[in-house]
Chain A
Amino acid sequence: MAAAGGDSSGRGESGKGSERGKNIKTAVQLEGVSKRFGYFFALKSVSLSVKVGEFVALLGPNGAGKTTLIKIIATQMKPTAGTVKIFGENAFQNSSKTAELRHEIGLVAHESFLYDELTVRENLAFYAKLFSLNKARERFRGSYESCEGCGSSWEETLSELVEFLNLGRWLDVKAKHLSYGLRKRADIARALIHRPSLVLLDEPFGGLDESSRELLAEYFKCFKGKTLILSSHSYEWAKRVCERGILLERGEVKQEICL
């Protein structure tokens, strides 16, 4: 499968659907984005652009501002200054616009979003139902793209993801009993359950052994039709998945590199 929700056109071609409607070529566009915590600037006037279907890595040492940037793109955190556009829409224009855009975003953060006491199936069903309850997606998506896979129910997406991430054996196991690698995979399934167009991965390889990293890298390569932004301090692993890297240092974009 092409990572539940993806199309069959292959990496880099996902924008076709979008371009037919509203000619959107840029998935993420940041202009002069700064974020301040008290007197500390986590991000200083960051400007960058990610094309639809592109796989981009945010690189840099700890404290460079990668997680803050991911959280801002995921609309989890408002920037102190600057504008954030997701698929051509101002992400923080108002709360309803932010909510609509969240249909297009799948986030895998440092922390797991799974509830320990619930099984993997219950966790995925919880998030899937919350996404399907809020019907604004059709209205928003209908305005610019053909909405590949929108018609399928979350149960169908769940079975596709379970097959893709090889989670079948673990579906009825409580999240607290999963190993770190399995939990990461379940978290990826959680982030993809609503078929987002933009996938954000914050340090996805952190804390994993070599074979689990290999496995995840292979999964990510299959995210055809999606835009992927990945943060990592490992150049080697970023290179395995992404085609372009953006080097951050002390909250500033230092350089853009071809991986």
Chain B
Amino acid sequence: MPLTKIEKRLESRATTAAFATLHTALKIAEKDLRVEFRRSYELLSVLTFSLASILVCSFVSGASATPVVSAAFLWVILFFASILVFTTSFTREADKGTLLGLKTIPCNALAILLGKIFYGAALLFLVEIVLLVCAVVFLNAAFRAEILFVFFLGALSLASAGSFISALVMFSEGKTLLLSFLLFPVSLPVLISGSAATAKMLGGSTFGEIMPAIELLIAFLLLIFLIMSLTFEFVIEE
């Protein structure tokens, strides 16, 4: 068989496998979001925390918060909200035994992690939207549509780090404490670049000026995805 035919066949198999993985991940994320919205108290507690925190920040700084201070407030709140979200992400599945059910599915183990990442990113993005509206109202922050792109990348990066660490600690004792300890150093590149880009955006910088921060976020995403794809199969083993 000519080499090109073999290559084409391999390529089509890889595409099918990648499509199945992505589709499986989306189904898992859809299920998680449905479960989350039905058991609304957890989501409400994250939103209440975020709202209360930004209100406290507005009491401190009034309407005169500088873009740097506003960005710092937003990302500190987002980081703590992400701890709340990812504390239960994998742990709930492991504790209730449903993780075993997910492991019976004929798919790449990475699909389970990707599903959790999409679910976490969707929740964090929702929190970010609420935070942004509050920042505009209470901190007098200048809203720009481009900031949503920064927030989207930030949510995806934090969700990747959070879900992976949540999976790493799910079988250990003191998982909540471990998650809080591990998430900060791992997500440091996201927090640094995300807050810097947000501060510049709120200060009126152009999209071109925040490109280094965006590139750092994308590089982080690529790196963590590489680590996850190489190691997750072993992480999910009991």
Q: How far is A116 from B105 in the complex, measured between Cα atoms in Å?
A: 19
Contact A105 B104 (CB under 8 A): yes
Given that A118-B35, A126-B31, A134-B24 are known contacts, is A76 also in contact with B106, CB under 8 Å in the complex? no
B8 on the A face (CB < 8 A): no
Q: How far is A256 from B59 in the complex, measured between Cα atoms in Å?
A: 75
A209 on the B face (CB < 8 A): no
Contact A99 B108 (CB under 8 A): yes
Q: Which residues of A contact B97 (CB under 8 A)?
A: 109-113
Given that A95-B233, A117-B38 are known contacts, is A100 also in contact with B106, CB under 8 Å in the complex? yes
A247 on the B face (CB < 8 A): no
Q: How far is A112 from B35 in the complex, measured between Cα atoms in Å?
A: 16
- Residue of B23, B38, B104 ringed by the most chain A CB atoms within 10 A: B104
Contact A130 B237 (CB under 8 A): no
B20 on the A face (CB < 8 A): yes
Contact A111 B20 (CB under 8 A): no
Contact B106 A99 (CB under 8 A): yes
Give the residue of A102, A103, A109, A130 whose beta carbon is less than 8 angstroms from that of B100: A109
Q: How far is A96 from B38 in the complex, measured between Cα atoms in Å?
A: 34
Give the residue of B31, B106, B109, B238 whose beta carbon is less than 8 angstroms from that of A115: B31
List the A residue with the shortest CB-CB distance to B37.
A117
- Residue of A107, A110, A117 ringed by the most chain B CB atoms within 10 A: A117
User: In residues 160-212 of chain B, which contact A (Cβ within 8 Å)?
Assistant: none
Contact B106 A118 (CB under 8 A): no
Q: How far is A120 from B38 in the complex, measured between Cα atoms in Å?
A: 15
B16 on the A face (CB < 8 A): yes
List the A residue with the shortest CB-CB distance to B32.
A115
B96 on the A face (CB < 8 A): yes
Contact A135 B20 (CB under 8 A): yes
Q: How far is A95 from B237 in the complex, measured between Cα atoms in Å?
A: 13
Contact A133 B27 (CB under 8 A): yes
Q: Which residues of A contact B28 (CB under 8 A)?
A: 130
B2 on the A face (CB < 8 A): no
Count of B interface residues, CB-CB < 8 Å: 27
A137 on the B face (CB < 8 A): yes
Give the residue of B16, B96, B233, B237 whose beta carbon is less than 8 angstroms from that of A116: B96
Q: How far is A127 from B34 in the complex, measured between Cα atoms in Å?
A: 15
Give the residue of B23, B31, B104 whose beta carbon is less than 8 angstroms from that of A102: B104
Give the residue of A74, A111, A126, A134 whose beta carbon is less than 8 angstroms from that of B96: A111
B64 on the A face (CB < 8 A): no
Give the residue of A122, A127, A129 whose beta carbon is less than 8 angstroms from that of B101: A127
A131 on the B face (CB < 8 A): yes
Contact A130 B238 (CB under 8 A): no
A136 on the B face (CB < 8 A): yes
Give the residue of B39, B103, B105 whose beta carbon is less than 8 angstroms from that of A117: B39
B136 on the A face (CB < 8 A): no
Contact B27 A129 (CB under 8 A): yes
Q: Which residues of A contact B20 (CB under 8 A)?
A: 133-136
User: In residues 1-47 of chain B, which contact A (Cβ within 8 Å)?
Assistant: 16-17, 20, 23-24, 27-28, 31, 34-35, 38-39
Given that A116-B96, A133-B27 are known contacts, is A102 also in contact with B105, CB under 8 Å in the complex? yes
Q: Which residues of A contact B27 (CB under 8 A)?
A: 126, 129-130, 133
Q: How far is A110 from B100 in the complex, measured between Cα atoms in Å?
A: 10
Q: How far is A126 from B104 in the complex, measured between Cα atoms in Å?
A: 13
Q: Which residues of A contact B98 (CB under 8 A)?
A: 111, 113-115
Report A54-82 CB contacts with B as 1/0, cut-off 8 Å.
00000000000000000000101110000
22 examples of A-B residue contacts, CB within 8 angstroms: A76-B104, A99-B107, A101-B106, A102-B106, A103-B106, A107-B100, A111-B96, A111-B97, A114-B98, A114-B101, A115-B98, A117-B34, A118-B35, A126-B27, A131-B105, A131-B106, A133-B20, A133-B27, A134-B105, A134-B107, A135-B20, A136-B20
Instruction: Report A's interface with B, CB cutoff 8 A.
Output: 74, 76-78, 95-96, 99-103, 105, 107, 109-118, 122, 126-127, 129-131, 133-137, 190
- Seed contacts A96-B17, A127-B105, A136-B106; 5 additional CB < 8 Å A-B pairs: A95-B109, A102-B106, A111-B100, A129-B27, A133-B107
Instruction: Report B's interface with A, CB cutoff 8 A.
Output: 16-17, 20, 23-24, 27-28, 31, 34-35, 38-39, 96-98, 100-101, 103-109, 233, 237-238
The 6 closest A-B pairs by CB, nearest first: A111-B97, A113-B101, A102-B106, A117-B38, A99-B106, A117-B35
